[in-house]
Every structure is written in C-alpha cells, then in structure tokens.
Structure 1
Amino acid sequence: MTQTDQTGALPQPAIQQPAVPPTDARGPDQVGRATLMICTAAFIFAAQDGISRHLGATYSPIFITMVRYWFFTLFVMAIVMRQPGGLRAATRSKRPWTQVARGIILALEIVVTIEAFVRLGLINTHAIFACYPLIISVLSGPILGEKVGWRRWVAVGVGFCGILIVLKPGSGVFSSQALLPFLGAVMFAVYGLMTRLVARDDTAIVSFFWTSVVGAITMTIIGINSWEPIARRDIPWLLVLCLCAAIAHFLLIKAYELAEASALQPFSYTQLVWVSIFGVVIFGETLAPNVALGGLIVVGAGLFTWWRSRQRAKQIQG
C-alpha cells in the first residue's frame, strides 16, 4: 500500500514535463507490458500486506518496518549505483528538507498501516485507506496551490459517504481503531503531495534514494531498541516480505518507463481485489456487505478524481 508514491504514480503538476514519453508515443505492446507489470506489482503488494499482517501479530510493527527499510535501502543503493552520476547525483536534492519530511512521513505511515492490518484486518483497512486520493484532492489546494473544482469536491463528499458506510457509526460496530487506516491514508496523501512538490525540482531517482535512506534512518532511530529475537519459522516470511518490496518496486519503475503514470494509476486498484481474496481465504476475514459497498463507492470517487485531474491537465496542455 505504500507502493504508489515512490515512483510518481500520482498525477504530476501540469507545469512539470512527464518523466517518460507520453503514452501515445509508445507502442500498444509497451503499454500492455506496463499494465501487466503494474497489475503484477499490485498482486505482490497485496501479498506483502498479508505477510505484514501475519508477522505483525507476533512482532512490533516498528521492528518489521525497520527490517524492511534496511533491505529496501540496499535494493535502492544497487539501483542508484547503476544510474548516471551514481550515488553523488542521487544525493543532490534541491528540496532536501522536504525530502526528509516525506521520508519520515512514509516510514511512520507504514507502521500505522501494519498496526491497522493486525487490529482491523486487511479488508477493512484497505476499504478505508482507499480514500487517500480524495484527501489528496482536498489538500492539493493549500499545499500545491492547485484549484479544486466543484466536481472533485462532490467526489470527495461521495467518498466520505462511502467511508461512513464502511464504518457504520452509531451502530455499535465503529471503534477508535477504525481511525488507524484513516490516519494512514492522511499520512500517505501528504506524502504523495510532497512527492509531487519535490518532483518539480528533483528527479525520480533522487526522490527514490531520499525516501529509502531517510526512512531507514528514521526507523533505526525509533526501532533499534525494539529489536526482538526472530523465531526460526518466521525468518523465511521476513525474507519474503523484503523480497516482495524489492520486486514490486522494481516492476513499478519498469512500468513507468514504458507508460505514463496517470495512464497506469487505475490498475493499482486491483490490489484491493487481491487483498480481499487473501483476507477471506487465508485469514478468515469477512467481506461484510457494507464494507464492499462502501469500498466500491470510495474507489469510484477516487477514480473520478483521477479522471478529472487528467481532463484538467489536457485542457491546460491543449
């Protein structure tokens, strides 16, 4: 779930040139491969969430996130060293303090979300977390200075109604624990907006590097005293968890080299399908009718805001 941001999956500001050539400049075969890659990455990220839920029931989410970041940073370093300019070029950010802030926010968001997986389950967490594109629409005005039209405000309102359907406040089902995935969504939305902000001056590889290093430092400072022995039976799961993050992010990078991020964004929602399947089949969770309906409303509202963003970008560019 923490996947989308680090590779620019969110629509970029209109004033920024695309990181890759426009989709129509690519052949249909390339776009097809990119779509397959993004769907595969969504499946792997869903599996990663399932493993995080499994390990989170035994180990501290802070500990799990710390180990993930250690491995992830090694993976990013390997990619950075193969880029022109290597490590020196990747460290040169024109917005270093913003990069630091977004790295810290993402690391803490992962901790919050893993805790939500354990307390609420995969399905309920993702149904609420899916509202983050709507939060981005609300905050894009004060943070990025973008104009939010009435249509997107209506979509935000509809999405909020979907969250209320999921939570069923006043029915006795709602609990304070349900605020965890919403907090995670807010943090991820802020991280996404800050990613768009730094993208005006820094390349994707610079942001990728800062995300991993700042996150690893943050989690080491917070979690090193939380180190706990790892049971032998859990070592393979922890290794698979780290490998999932590396493989999924590699697929994202390759996908965005073949097609525009805005063209691929809708396919990232396939992660919700896999999460629901894993939740029901593996963890015995229940896909309640109100959760299914509310989740569909939230996703639909999010897809509408994505579509409006693309339409507005086309009008500005045209």
Structure 2
Amino acid sequence: MSGGVAGEVFSGQDARRGIAWMLLTMGLFVTMDGLAKWLTQSYPVPQVIWARYAFHFGLLALFLNWRLIATLRTRNLKLQIGRSLLLVATTTLFFFGISQVQLATASALMFVAPLLVTLLSIPLLKEQVGPRRLASVAVGFFGALVILRPGDELFDLAALLPLGAACTYAVYQIATRVLSAVDAPLTTLVYTALVGAVLSSFVVPFVWQTPDLLGWGVMLAVGGFGAVSQFCLIKAFQAAPASTVTPFGYSAILWATLYGWLLFAELPDSWTLIGAAVIVASGLYIWHREHRVIAQR
C-alpha cells in the first residue's frame, strides 16, 4: 500500500499503525539527536555529522547490496542533490546548535519548519493559503520569539542555529514533496545518505579525533538510528494518510525533554515550554485547516 495515492481508502487499523510508526520515528530521531549531542561533548561536530551520514549510507549499502546501483537511478538528479544538500545544511546547523543549547529548546525551535512550509508553499508550490492559516503562522513565530527571548540577558545566539536548521528543513520538505512525484522513496533515501557521506568525508580529515571503542559504538548508533528512523517515517506515510500521522511528529518535544533530563540533567524553563506550546498549537491549527480544505474538495 502506498500512502498518498488519490482515492486510496485507509481503515482505522491503518491509522493506528501509521500513528504507531510516527511515534516510533520521533523516538528514534530524538535518540539520534541525543546521542549526537553526547558525542559533541568529546568530538568535533563535523566528525559527528560524518558519522551520522557515513554509517547511515554504509548500512543502506549493506541492506541494498547489488540493488544499490539500480536504486541510484533518478529522473531529477539536480533536485535529488539539492534536496540532500539542504538536509546536510539542516544537520550541520542543528548539531552545532545542540552542542551549545538544550536538546528540548532546539527541538522546539525545529517545530517552526512546518509553519515555514505553509508560507513557502505559496510561492514555490502555488498553493492557496487562507488568512486563518497565515495568522496561525504568525502566532507560531511569536512562540519562537518566546523561546529565543531576544533582548533578554538570557538570550543565546547559539539558539539561532536550530532556528536556521528549521528554515533549511522547511525548504527540504518542499523539495521532498516535489520529488515524491518523481522518484521512489528508497532512491531519495539513498541520495540523502550518499551526498551527506561524501561531503562530510571531505571535511572530517581536518578535525579528526580517533574515537575509543565507546565513541565508535555511539557513532555507529547515530548512523543506525538515522537510517532506521527514515525507514520508519516512510512506513508511517505508507500505513496512513499524512493528515493522520503528521500531528504526532510533535511528540518529539516529549522525547527531547526526556533525553535532555536523562543524559544531560537539562530541563527546559517555563518560557521554553510556553513557546513550544504556542508553536505546537499553531501548527496543529494549520493542520486542522488544511485537513478541512482537503475534505471539502
């Protein structure tokens, strides 16, 4: 079954399966981020980025084996590479960000990405966005300002890094939408890992620190969680409509708060929680409006 096919009928069981896949996806994504943050305390960030993509691609290559070459066939090579570069930029900004700010704070700021997708869909996808959704986007940006608190003595410039990651991730999501009508998901997944592995391999020799056994194990885990989480995300959208599973992506803030507390003794302050709640609420309202518009067509 392929999610996103017009006219396809999904059952209640499909919805539950899709939601379960999405919850698992968010848990795996944040596990990867938590391990990456732990690594940045001992190793250079570019080396952690390299591990995320190199081991991701290595595991994919082992899984695909002789099918790897065939999977690389694409009908839009420029867009595949461009999309992959956007994700590398997102990872770079986010990993540098979490090396300096709390995991929950960075994750909350990443929730700005769906709001930006709504805005960017107007010029890039020629979609119609009504005033209610535009107002919700504005409210969501206000939530980001609550988290950042510019002008306050607690304002941290490093928090702008995950916000920048949200911007590049939004454009990445637009590119993913376009590519979904061109190439198979597995092809897109392989290019994502390949481009990231190649680029980071050019940089990592200049900052390399030989890991100990634990370091190698955690680096392998970061790449593994990256690969498996992408697979689970595909399964979520195959099992149920995007409109059903997308809201459960906000469960990432719960995982980020848990890992921040367990691994780094970090707990978000009240302003971060309030700002995150505002962003999530605005995102859910936009999802609600989009769902109604689709249902009325």
The aligned residue for residue 17 of structure 2 is 33
Contact 2:56 2:193 in 1 (8 A): yes
* Whole-Å separation in 2 of the counterparts to 1:98 and 1:254: 23
- Over the matched positions of the two proteins, sequence identity in percent amounts to 26
Instruction: Tell me whether 1:55 sits opposite 2:33 in the alignment.
Output: no
* Whole-Å separation in 1 of the counterparts to 2:26 and 2:232: 10
The aligned residue for residue 80 of structure 2 is 99
* Whole-Å separation in 1 of the counterparts to 2:156 and 2:238: 43
Structure 2: which amino acid aligns with 1:212? A
Q: How many equivalent pairs are there?
A: 296
Tell me whether 306-315 or 269-278 shows the greater mean CA deviation: 306-315
Instruction: Tell me whether 1:311 sits opposite 2:281 in the alignment.
Output: no
Structure 2, unaligned runs of 5 or more: none
Cα drift, residue 194 of structure 1: 1.0
Secondary structure of the residue aligned to 2:99 is helix
Within the candidate set 210, 214, 220, 2:195 is matched to 214
Within the candidate set 71, 78, 82, 2:55 is matched to 71
Structure 2: which amino acid aligns with 1:53? K
* Whole-Å separation in 2 of the counterparts to 1:266 and 1:289: 23
* Whole-Å separation in 1 of the counterparts to 2:179 and 2:271: 38
Structure 2: which amino acid aligns with 1:247? V
Instruction: Indicate the RMSD between aligned Cα atoms, in angstroms.
Output: 2.2
Instruction: Tell me whether 1:174 sits opposite 2:158 in the alignment.
Output: no
Within the candidate set 130, 151, 166, 2:111 is matched to 130
Contact 2:185 2:234 in 1 (8 A): no
Within the candidate set 232, 235, 249, 2:213 is matched to 232
Cα drift, residue 39 of structure 1: 1.0
* Whole-Å separation in 2 of the counterparts to 1:62 and 1:146: 37
* Whole-Å separation in 2 of the counterparts to 1:178 and 1:254: 32
Structure 1, unaligned runs of 5 or more: 1-17
Cα drift, residue 72 of structure 1: 1.0
Cα drift, residue 88 of structure 1: 4.8
Contact 1:23 1:31 in 2 (8 A): no
Structure 1: which amino acid aligns with 2:139? V
TM-score with structure 1 length normalisation? 0.85
TM-score with structure 2 length normalisation? 0.91
Secondary structure of the residue aligned to 1:119 is coil
* Whole-Å separation in 2 of the counterparts to 1:125 and 1:288: 13
Within the candidate set 160, 185, 191, 2:141 is matched to 160
Within the candidate set 223, 228, 243, 1:242 is matched to 223
